Structure 1
Amino acid sequence: MIEALGYLRESISNYSDEQKDALSIQNKINENRYESETMFIRDLTEDEISFLNNILPDEINYAMNEKDYKRVNELNEVYELLY
């Protein structure tokens, strides 16, 4: 699995009980073998992209506060591809 998607899957697991988009994204990561983050992003629906746009800034800030710079970089890599 691509490392960035592993970090993303872990981050969105916090939302899977309350958001259908989180569960849908989690299922995509678990069921598919994406060759790149770009291929993953291309497979997302508009709602899933919107969901990630809403949560990733908070997740990146949390990782920064925890000084988990590896997580910051990996999540930021996915976030940048959303645009």
Structure 2
Amino acid sequence: MKAIETTATINESGQLTLDKSLGFIKPQRVRVIVLLSEDDETDPDETPTEVVIEGIRQGLHEALTGQTLPLSEMWSGIDAE
């Protein structure tokens, strides 16, 4: 048996919708374990809204003031196989 961790949303009908495809070729039955957060529990993978907004502000400021790199330079020094 193989375990895969992903995220999903439960709709009003109680059905799960995966956030992205698992990429399997053939349809098959699976076992599902659902982990629900408590009301006072925060998701460790969730970036706080304040951090996201600050990142957007910083990116916009850099774009407006010309503090950008050409796309060709962004890959400089990255070794891809």
Coarse TM-score class (shorter-chain normalised): under 0.3
Query: Which structure features the higher share of strand residues?
Result: 2
Which structure has more relative contact order (CA 8 Å, sep 6+)? It is 1
Query: Which structure features the higher share of helix residues?
Result: 1
